């Protein structure tokens, strides 16, 4: 395999405390990275770098791991501009808008759905996302959920079955029958394409008993739980996530002291999605409270057509610093290493020998500029699995 030396990196976030300054970011100054095939072969000071087949001069730019977006909804069709405009005029957000996207998605061909997905993935990649998770949830029939996951699985290993997004309109008067469908024939069709099972445990969606049934059935088929939890108000979602050993509880906006304590005592990651609060004018999650309690925090986009139509992790980093109480260092860690933990991955989210060669360079001297210069397209180069994509 050929090797590439990326040298003269002014400031490199490795997320490996042993490799750098001893901080969680493992910051290295005047650094270099050697890429061999899809993996990182060496990391260290530029003046000690080994020879390589090719050399790329970073010219003092800041480097960091590719972003790990561990929560997105990218297999969909349609547009909810009118809903967004109405919300910005004062109408509150509720889960019911999902049904609008369900109708549009059902009416769209596989080819159009995949083209949409590819477009948003390209958008995310240009902004530094090299690993992403995405979900079904906009079909809500056996055939439509299966095809969403089949399409997603062609583009990522991190595929989540979310038949329990909301109750399908055909079952509005019989939610128990819909739960039986989600945990039976729909799960049978979808499990072969997915790694994860998720449920929207929230008012207007699924209560604790229904959500537990969905997660238990998914786990019996080998799928690992994730939970949409405590977004719209205080509820049972976080406790259910911890109880079922979920990899992550996502949103975590309204938390009791017991919820925070349960997360801190577990391996369940609190995945925060500031794009949703930005787009719905909802209360911001208190990331500072979670971090100080010892909870593992991840930051992701929640990219979806209704409540968070952004594919930009840098934008979410800036929001987390400005409005959720994280420092720039903490927000960058949450968007890289934190996302990797939410996906139970050790081969992404860090720059260390053996990890995938997923890294990016900024047109800036420090990762702090991601929050310091919000909205500016700072990502200038992106490598994904050793291949330069941007």
Q: What is the pLDDT of residue 86?
A: 86
How far apart are alpha carbons 97 and 93 in whole angstroms? 8
How far apart are alpha carbons 313 and 322 in whole angstroms? 14
Q: What is the pLDDT of residue 90?
A: 86
pLDDT(290) > 90: yes
**Contacts of residue 340, Cβ cutoff 8 Å, sequence gap at least 6:** 68, 70, 131, 346, 348, 349, 350
For residue 75 the two structure tokens come to 């297999």
Q: What is the pLDDT of residue 111?
A: 98
How far apart are alpha carbons 256 and 261 in whole angstroms? 9
Strands, DSSP E only, in the chain? 3-12, 28-36, 39-45, 54-57, 62-65, 67-69, 129-135, 158-164, 196-201, 224-225, 227-229, 248-251, 269-272, 297-299, 359-362, 379-384, 387-388
Q: What is the pLDDT of residue 100?
A: 87
Helix (H, G, I), strand (E, B) or coil at 267: coil
pLDDT(137) > 70: yes
HSE, side-chain direction, 13 A CA sphere, residue 344: 14
**pLDDT digits 0-9 by tens, 95-121:** 567 888 999 999 999 999 999 999 999
pLDDT(93) > 80: no
Q: What is the pLDDT of residue 96?
A: 60
In order of 31, 204, 225, 265, 367, the CA distances from 317 in angstroms are 24, 29, 25, 25, 11
* Confidence band, pLDDT 50/70/90 cuts, at residue 92: confident
**Contacts of residue 78, Cβ cutoff 8 Å, sequence gap at least 6:** 100, 101, 103, 104, 105, 108, 305
What is the average per-residue pLDDT within 351-367? 98
Dihedral class, residue 315 (left if φ above 0, else alpha if ψ from -120 to 50, else beta):
alpha
Q: What is the pLDDT of residue 91?
A: 80
**pLDDT digits 0-9 by tens, 222-257:** 999 999 999 999 999 999 999 999 999 999 999 999
Cβ atoms within 10 Å of 215's Cβ, excluding its own: 27
**pLDDT digits 0-9 by tens, 52-71:** 999 999 999 999 999 999 99
pLDDT(160) > 60: yes
| Listed residue (132, 129, 130, 126) closest to 74, CA to CA | 132
For residue 12 the two structure tokens come to 């490199």
Distance of CA 45 to the CA centre of its chain: 31
**Contacts of residue 90, Cβ cutoff 8 Å, sequence gap at least 6:** none
Q: What is the pLDDT of residue 250?
A: 98
Q: What is the pLDDT of residue 95?
A: 54
What is the average per-residue pLDDT within 3-32? 96
How far apart are alpha carbons 148 and 222 in whole angstroms? 19
What are the residue ranges of helices labelled H in 245-349? 257-264, 274-280, 287-292, 313-323, 328-333, 339-342
Q: By the 8 A CB rule, do 160 and 171 touch?
A: no
* Confidence band, pLDDT 50/70/90 cuts, at residue 278: very high
What are the backbone dihedrals phi and psi of residue 361, each rounded to the nearest 5 degrees, phi first? -115, 145
Cβ atoms within 10 Å of 261's Cβ, excluding its own: 15
Q: What is the pLDDT of residue 94?
A: 59
How far apart are alpha carbons 329 and 321 in whole angstroms? 9
Q: By the 8 A CB rule, do 280 and 252 touch?
A: no
Dihedral class, residue 90 (left if φ above 0, else alpha if ψ from -120 to 50, else beta):
left
């Amino acid at each position: 395999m050929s090797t590439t030396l990326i040298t003269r990196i002014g400031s490199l976030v490795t997320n490996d405390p042993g490799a750098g300054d001893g901080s969680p970011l493992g910051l290295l100054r005047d650094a270099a990275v050697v890429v061999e095939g899809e993996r990182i072969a060496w990391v260290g000071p530029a003046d000690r770098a080994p020879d390589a087949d090719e050399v790329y001069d970073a010219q003092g730019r800041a480097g960091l791991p590719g972003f790990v977006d561990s929560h997105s909804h990218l297999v969909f069709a349609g547009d909810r501009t009118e809903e967004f405009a109405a919300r910005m005029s004062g109408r509150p957000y509720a889960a019911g808008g999902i049904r609008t996207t369900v109708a549009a998605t059902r009416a769209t061909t596989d080819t159009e759905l995949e083209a949409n997905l590819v477009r948003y993935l390209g958008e995310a990649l240009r902004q530094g996302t090299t690993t992403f998770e995405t979900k079904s949830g906009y079909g809500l029939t056996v055939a439509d959920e299966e095809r969403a996951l089949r399409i997603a699985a062609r583009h990522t290993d991190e595929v989540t079955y979310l038949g329990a997004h909301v109750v399908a309109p055909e079952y509005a008067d019989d939610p128990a029958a819909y739960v039986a469908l989600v945990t039976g024939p729909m799960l049978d069709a979808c499990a072969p394409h997915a790694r994860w099972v998720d449920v929207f445990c929230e008012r207007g969606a699924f209560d604790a008993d229904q959500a537990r049934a969905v997660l238990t059935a998914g786990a019996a088929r080998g799928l690992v739980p994730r939970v949409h939890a405590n977004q719209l108000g205080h509820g049972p979602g976080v406790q259910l996530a911890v109880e079922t050993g979920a990899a992550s509880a996502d949103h975590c906006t309204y938390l009791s002291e017991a919820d925070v304590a349960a997360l801190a005592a577990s391996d369940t990651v609190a995945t925060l999605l500031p794009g949703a609060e930005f787009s719905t004018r909802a209360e911001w999650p208190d990331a500072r409270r979670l971090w100080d309690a010892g909870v593992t925090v991840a930051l992701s986009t929640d990219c979806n057509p209704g409540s968070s139509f952004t594919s930009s992790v840098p934008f979410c980093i800036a929001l987390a610093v400005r409005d959720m109480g994280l420092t720039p260092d903490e927000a960058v860690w949450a968007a890289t290493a934190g996302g990797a933990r939410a996906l139970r991955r050790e081969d992404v989210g860090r720059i260390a020998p053996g990890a995938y060669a997923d890294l990016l360079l900024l047109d800036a001297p420090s990762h702090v500029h991601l929050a310091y210069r919000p909205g500016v397209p700072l990502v200038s180069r992106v490598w994904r699995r050793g291949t330069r994509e941007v």
